[in-house]
Each structure stands twice: as structure tokens, then as C-alpha cells.
Structure 1
């Protein structure tokens, strides 16, 4: 009697079409009749936008035209602070949803306009409506010729009567009876001749060359999912490591290690086939001078919950966590090799001026030697 039953939720779940999923979210979709905003999945599921940026974008999209969407205006109605709102606006601006454009008013004042686009990819790659024929390229008309008149349909034998010219100063369309000379409005430039329609069958229009229209480029997707779909081909698994030579000693040690593994980790109880299949991988670790307790700790530490396939987990860890081969004797000798020593010239004290200078033997500095050489040359 103390458990409350939500009958409305029960009725709504009964109206969901199809069988209900055993896990995950269950959508109860009720149609909106007023006060709703259409949001695309490219924004709601954008992989590079934070949840704050998506929420700010949805709020901006729901506001009417001319609403204030500055940092302070949004902070006044949202629980996020100004720093988080500013970071979210920068994210939207980086992905093309938001633009800040500076515009100059007729009075000379410069203002900043905030433009929000709900589908930025549609601006970069516009799509042609489905079923619409491709538009041919429009030929450029000659500078001194009048536009070509379209032929009348085949079912119509007589052309439509021309409109009666109105009493205006500018030249009006002429009737189909006879050509009338046109008045020149200015001596600077002559007007183009006016085509005359005769009351006979319309002549066939000249065929205009139509440039081939390239098919519209497919629009680039808004984002590429980082998680591959379940049907994507999976990379082949790496083979189980094997020792250079599976000696009988390595085979016995690896078999004893795997058979005794359940005593240290009860959840890693292996069958006889699993032990035979995993023996080469353990032998490869033992060949690389890894201690058995280190192998046991690496293979059984922090297993997933629940552990359904212990043999597959051991094969994966034996393959992916294989340590490098130990260094050889030559590599260790290179590490122990003494470094080359550099000979440092010691300091000496000059016998005449007591100045310190570098020299392998005691004596005189360079200045004293030059002075003594000059005195000896003068005496000679």
C-alpha cells in the first residue's frame, strides 16, 4: 500500500510502439502543439561541442528575433556564470553556429550584430530541392541587341495582341500592325531597335548553346563519428607472443605457473586447453627474465567486473603488456664504458708580475715575454 503507482506513466509506456528495450533510454514522444523549437541532431549530438555550448545554442535558437543574446543577458537567465557562457559562445562561433558582425548605421554609429544559424553546413553547401530540374546556364546577351523573344506554344496559332500604348513621354510598345519609327530621347545614345511581331506563325527561336551543368557536389557531413559503427571491419588481433625457442624447461615452468594461478586469484581458473594455448605467451615472458610474481601481478591486477572470459583477458594482457627484451652484454658494456676525459691546462703564476695564466709549465705570462724580447732586441 505504501508504493505509489504512476498510472499515467504506465499508460504512456503501453502506447510505445514495438517491444521495449531491456536497457537504455525509453522515449515517450508526445507531439507539441505550441511553444516548441526544432533542433537538429547535428547540434544536439555534436561530438566537439560541450553540453554547455549545446544548451546555450538551443536557448538562443528558441528566442525570438531581436532578443538580447549577449553574455550578461544570457547570464541573467541561466545558472551558468559569465565565463562558462563566454566559452560556450566561442565554441559556437568556432563551429559556425554563431557570428558576430560589425555593421555601420546610416548615422555613422558602429554596432555589433549577432547572427545565429541553425544549420551552418547548409550555407556552405546549399542543396537543390528534390525533383527540381537542373537550371541551365544563362547566356550573356549582346550589348547592343534586344533580348530574344520566346516562341509561342504550338497549340496557339496567333500571337497575343500587343498592349495599347499609353500617352507617355517614354516610347511605348508598338502595335503589331506596322513598324513605327522610335523617337530618340537623347543625342548621346541611340535606343535599341524594338522587335515587331507580325500576325503570322511565330518563327522558330534560335537554339541557344546550353552549357553542361555539373551535378551538385555532395554536401560534406557536419561531423564524422569517432566511434566506428558495429558493422565496420575490425583490425586483426595480434598473435600471442612466443619465445625464441620453447625449451622443455620453459614449457614446464609456464605450465606450472598457469596451473597454479587459481590459488592466488580464484577467478582465473583455467581449463587444460586454455593452459596449453597460453603456455607460449608465459614462456615468452619468462624468457625475458621476468619474475613469476611480477607476471602474476601484471596479469591478474584489477580485472573487469564481472570477469566472463579469464583466458581471453590473460591472452590480451600477455600480448599487449609484453616487456622488452633484456639488454645484451654489449649494451651493458656500453653503459659501463668510462667517459672520455678532457685535459685541462693548469694555472701558473708569472715570475715577474705575479699574474695568473694557463700554461703546462711555470714561467712568464705573454706580456712579460714580449717585454723581455723587446729589451733583448734593444740591447743587441
Structure 2
């Protein structure tokens, strides 16, 4: 059974401006006419707030004035438990979205007001002075439209006195400064480290006319496999050294063509820049030589053979036959004793 298509969704997708992305979310924006709340991206995309805190903030912002937003009241409205709601309220309070203010009523009673600010960073900006409020003039009757708007009469000129050098009256200061405070303060700081320069296009170590001819033919033939990669002659001459470097490293032309034409973005606005990036970033290493593939020779280990002691027939390791260590020590001790006895006999004989 075929999958049933949603005709309304298909019609809505057809009305989305621009080409549809091949991956990621697709937004169908239908304007709201009633029952909607404006939420800033600084809250919806806050990097340090949990999704529960963002959802609780949106729920609080959508409620009218005077609604109770305590932990138990929110737990009765939401599916989250009291612990998660309490943790979310603490997050919102830490970032300034939720504030608790103690206030004293005229009767002397002290109460705590819960204040939610949809844009807490705006509270830190300098506030503009409010314009002076003038008493509103009575509205004319609908049937009696005024023929002319009365203009204020000019101020009377003071009569000339004995002192005509009096300074003129100082005009009142303007209501707004010449350079008002900015209405938006960016939350993301400007980048401090410059981007590294792009890597240069690879070039062959030994360019030859055969490599240039094969690289030019491969780049000119790409439009048969991908019409988006229709290149100009200037772009082809610029990209020829990169393809020649691939061919010099014994890369098969089919492998180069597959690397350059697979998984192209849609729409492709700059084909030459994409090919330059792929030729530079995906360059394979040179093929190893025959001596590089030869297994290294294992070091030879010299094993000292076993020998049999001439005196005690004990086995011991030595490159030459002879006596074991104990027998050598005994022989040295015996020879030393005999030498000492012989020297003492010679001393007695001389005496």
C-alpha cells in the first residue's frame, strides 16, 4: 500500500520561498492572528539555559498579569514535577529573567512580587527620559470637523526698556540626546582571533605537458557528470595544477572525478571555489615506494651457549669452555693461599 501524501503539507512546502534544503529543519511560517506570544531568540536559543527552563519561561511569558506562577501552581499546569520546575525557576532567576522583589503596601504589609522580564539585558541600558505629558484637548464632535488647526500665538515681544543688552532667553534642552543609546546590545562578542588564510592549491612537484593536458581534459569533462560544474576557461586554468598534483600521485581519474562530483550542495553558487577546496583538503598522500613496504629486519639476538665446567661438570653459559664461577673462585682462592704460603717459607729460609 502506497504511503498517503499530505496535500496540505505539500502545498505549504511549495509556497516556501527559495529552494528547500536537502537536510535540516524546514520552517513553514504561518502568521499568527490571535493567541500568540513573542519570544526572543536570546531566550529560545540561550546557550546556558536548559530546555526545561526555556519551556517554563515561555509558559510564564504567555500567562496574563496576576496569574500565580509558584512551583505548585506551575506543577498543576505542566507535566514536569516540582523538582524540575524549581530547578528551572532557579536558572531563570540566575540569568535575570525571573526576579523576586519585596514591596510594602500602603497598609504596611510587606509582600513579595514575582517579576518576569522578557528581555533582561534591556534593563541594563540607559533609559530615555519620558516625554512630558500635556493634557489632552477635548475631542471634537464627529459631525463637526475642524476646518483649520489652530496654531499657537507667538510670544509677545517685551517693550524696549532702558537696558537693551539683556541676554536672550535660553531655549529648553532637547528631549532626546543627539546620540541616543543603542536599542540593541549584541550578546555575542566580536571574534578576537583572525581566521587563518586558506591553504594554497596543491601543485605537482614536476609539472609536465602530459599532466596539464590530462588535468584540463578531466576538468572540462566534469559537466557531463554534473551540470552544476560547468567551468569557465579561466577557472579551468586556475584548477589545472591541483588536478595535476592528484594525477602525479598516481590517483585514478575516476577517483578524482568521483571526489569532485559526489554530494554537491544545492544550490551550488561557486563551483570553482568548491573544487578548489576539495582538491586542497582531500589531497591523498604520495604512493609509498617498494622499500617503504618492505618489512623492517628484525634485530638478531645473540644467545650465549652452554658450557660444561672442567672441574665439577656443572653447566654454565660462556662463549668459551672453561670453569664455572664457583670453580674459578676456588682456584683463585687456592692460588692466593699457595702464593702466601710460598712467600712465608721464603722469608723463614732467608732468616
Q: TM-score range by the shorter chain?
A: 0.3 to 0.5
Q: Which has the higher helix share?
A: 2
